[in-house]
Chains A and B, each alone.
Chain A
Amino acid sequence: MSVTTSKPLMQAQDGAIGSEKKAHIVRVGPTIWHWQLLTLFAFGLAWEFVARNGYIDPLFIGTPSKILKFGYVELFVTGKLVEDMLWTIAGTAISFILGSVAGIATGLLFVSVPTAERFCEPFLSAMNALPRIALAPLFLLWFGLGIGSKVALGFSLTYFIVLSSTVAGARSVDRDFLVLARTLGASPAKIFMRITLVSAVPTLFSGLRLGLIYSLLGVIAGEIISAQHGLGQQLSYLAGTFQIDGVFAVLLLLALLGSSLTYGMSALESRLIRWR
């Protein structure tokens, strides 16, 4: 990922400059990567050492070797964590898709009908200011312990993020582009479709990336509070029964899950907006 984002803008007088610079970065990349891996390994070793010798009670911090073992067994032998992970992923995916679609649709409505925005703005601001986790008891009452309540929570977070980034993106359109398009004879519909919408895409994407993480957050929070399945539910069960190695294994899994979601989103983004 670091390679794609730090790719230099090539001021191409000729095409060769670009490929030279790319080769340069590839040469540097693995070295940093090695050091990062080494640091992580050293940290794990130190943690193992501290826990084994009881400098800090392993009841609170676990032991890396046992954490990895727990993760391995629950993922590949019993498969219990896999099932929970699939529930969490499903919840995240549904709340992300629903939240983004609704957010983008509302955003586009606001951009094309400013009166609608002026009317809805105070209501939406109030809802957005409300800590959404506080709605969890209500959602549980409405949608039960199944997937519905956590999707509702994830949706309520994602929707506002995607909505505001859609509006901000469409507003960020370059004024001169609009002037030029008018003089070129573009109709308002063409200006909206081919300039305003396209200009909104980069900002929209950073909103979507954030929205995805917040979907995961909402779903996990919903599961922790109360649910039948999911990594959040598993997390609160493990912590409640003092299986600290299990807690850390789930946290590790969540970190990996979150990173791969972000990574996937960035990959999609750089494919779609190569012109940036």
Chain B
Amino acid sequence: MTSSGRIIVEGLIHSFHGKVNALQDVSFTVAPGEFVSIVGPSGCGKTTVLNIVAGLVPRERGTVTIDGRPPQAGRHDIAYMLARDCLFPWLTAQANAELGNGFRDMPKPERREHAERLLNLVGLRDFKASFPKELSHGMRQRVALARTFCMPSPFLLMDEPFGALDAQTKLQLEDLLLSLWSKERRSVIFITHDLSEAVLLSDRVIVMSARPGRIVADIPIPLERPRSVRSLQKDPRYHELYSKIWEKLEYGIFEPA
């Protein structure tokens, strides 16, 4: 197995303040263009895994390589997205969308073009000049999606990006994410505690147990693409997969071996 284009996590062990066992022997691989979700009870360390891959949290034991190189915050081939939109209130939607490429010294005309294209795609054509305070929650997260997808990074790390949205807005943005992702398949690690979201979006769902966080299941989602929230709700396979993951999750919570 070649390491190029892959995220490889091997034998990750992590503790908080040298005492509490947070992660125990976490290993998985994300193939190029693969969408992998990690689900687990809160506090299981799934965000820690993501932040180690993002280079925000230093590794203790184990190895992580992204396209053959160790993690480092600010790598140009990685785009990272948080639950909060983190739009800078002093910048317009357009300028916020350009932000990542701006920090990465992309020439002005090019990054403007990228940002305009993405803002059109997320349905904010008429709000490019708006400041974040003038936008609703959902619209703000759309700008954050645009900012993330503007960057031509083949790796995408997402930490519960829709966790703070209401159910309806969330469904809209999940569809939007699917359509953006299917245009140019990037390798994604998607952290969520929402099982239906995980099934809907992913090629594989990794289930983690409660602390110490271990991987208790790695479940492929063989549903064909393109997918849509509405059609999947009627698909019996979707519900089967959902309950299968739920079982594993329960196992991880109540019977930590």
Contacts and interface: CB of A to CB of B under 8 A. Distances in A.
B103 A10 contact: no
From A174, A179, A201, residue with most partner B Cβ within 10 Å? A179
A275 B90 contact: yes
Contacts of B89: 275-276
Contacts of B177: none
B104 A185 contact: yes
Contacts, number: 66
A177 B103 CA distance: 13
Nearest to B90: A275
B133 A275 contact: yes
B76 interface: yes
A217 B27 CA distance: 66
A11 B139 CA distance: 11
A166 to B, nearest CB: 17
A150 B136 CA distance: 51
A180 to B, nearest CB: 5
Contact of A11 (B54, B75, B79, B136): B136
Size band of the A side of the interface?
Answer: 20 to 34
Contact of A177 (B76, B88, B130, B132): B88
B130 to A, nearest CB: 7
A13 B82 contact: no
Interface string B167-207: 00000000000000000000000000000000000000000
A181 B82 contact: no
Interface residues of B, number: 30
A182 B57 CA distance: 12
A184 B103 contact: yes
Given A12-B135, A181-B103, A198-B88, 7 more contacts: A12-B136, A177-B86, A180-B80, A183-B80, A186-B103, A273-B90, A275-B91
Interface of A: 9-13, 18, 174, 176-177, 179-187, 190, 195, 198, 201, 273-276
29 contacts: A10-B134, A11-B134, A11-B136, A12-B134, A13-B136, A174-B86, A176-B82, A176-B86, A177-B86, A177-B88, A179-B82, A180-B80, A180-B86, A181-B103, A183-B54, A183-B73, A183-B80, A184-B99, A184-B100, A184-B103, A185-B74, A185-B75, A185-B100, A190-B103, A198-B88, A201-B90, A275-B89, A275-B91, A276-B89
